[in-house]
Chains A and B, each alone.
Chain A
């Protein structure tokens, strides 16, 4: 069966520090991968999506970047965090077109 792992579950980082969130998928190949962010009391904002290794599409200009070094690995990074980067970050994957999306449990990031 397919599973998605996302870590850490919670993270508190100072302003200006770097960030690396990792997401891995098991039990499938060639998944489409997504990073979303949810600010407090807000909806889900699509940040990045990827259709293959090294192929990243950015949805909004921001302080973050994404990379896909392996087929089932998706990494969200920042060189210098801002207070506005605080939020709930979710990784997700989909398989063949028009199948359901599976979400990780999320990382709650607080920038202080």
Chain B
């Protein structure tokens, strides 16, 4: 089962910031938070990841709470092309050392003109 909880859908006006929340209350100390998005009929695309510090790249910013039990993905100026399903994932490591990526249901973000 996925270790994250996200709202099923959100709307955002074009040009405004989109703030997508994620709860991961059972995250362990060495697990990272990843964000991916999936545009219809395509494979998921990596956006950003972080451990405990806030992160920023050319696509988005990731804000992780101090207790690491939740995070927020911020798209600073949403465009129509940002309409997609956004997945928040906590990385899992099995006994074999692999990273087992378990996706939840994600948040369907709709950017409106």
Who on chain B is nearest to A100 by CB?
B46
The reply to whether A103 and B43 form a contact with Cβ atoms under 8 Å apart is: yes
Question: Quick one: CB contact mask for B21-53 with A, threshold 8 Å, 1 for yes?
Answer: 000000000001010101001111110010000
Chain A interface extent, by class:
20 to 34
- Option from A43, A92, A98, A100 in Cβ contact (under 8 Å) with B43: A92
The reply to whether A46 and B102 form a contact with Cβ atoms under 8 Å apart is: yes
The reply to whether B102 and A55 form a contact with Cβ atoms under 8 Å apart is: no
- By a CB distance below 8 angstroms, the chain B residues around A46 are 100-103
- By a CB distance below 8 angstroms, the chain A residues around B113 are none
The reply to whether A44 and B44 form a contact with Cβ atoms under 8 Å apart is: yes
User: Which 4 A-B pairs have CB atoms at the shortest separation, nearest pair first?
Assistant: A103-B43, A100-B46, A44-B103, A51-B98
Q: Is the interface of A mostly helix, strand, loop or mixed?
A: strand
A: residues with CB less than 8 A from B are: 32, 34, 36, 42-46, 49, 51, 55, 57, 88, 90, 92, 94, 97-98, 100-106, 108
- By a CB distance below 8 angstroms, the chain A residues around B96 are 51, 55, 57
- Option from B41, B99, B104 in Cβ contact (under 8 Å) with A43: B104
Who on chain B is nearest to A98 by CB?
B32
The reply to whether B44 and A103 form a contact with Cβ atoms under 8 Å apart is: yes
Q: Which of B81-110 contact A (CB under 8 A)?
A: 87, 91, 93-94, 96-106
Least distance between B101 CB and chain A CB atoms (Å): 6
The answer to whether A32 and B43 touch (CB under 8 A), given A43-B103, A98-B32, A98-B91, is no
The reply to whether B43 and A90 form a contact with Cβ atoms under 8 Å apart is: yes
The reply to whether A94 and B43 form a contact with Cβ atoms under 8 Å apart is: no
Least distance between A44 CB and chain B CB atoms (Å): 4
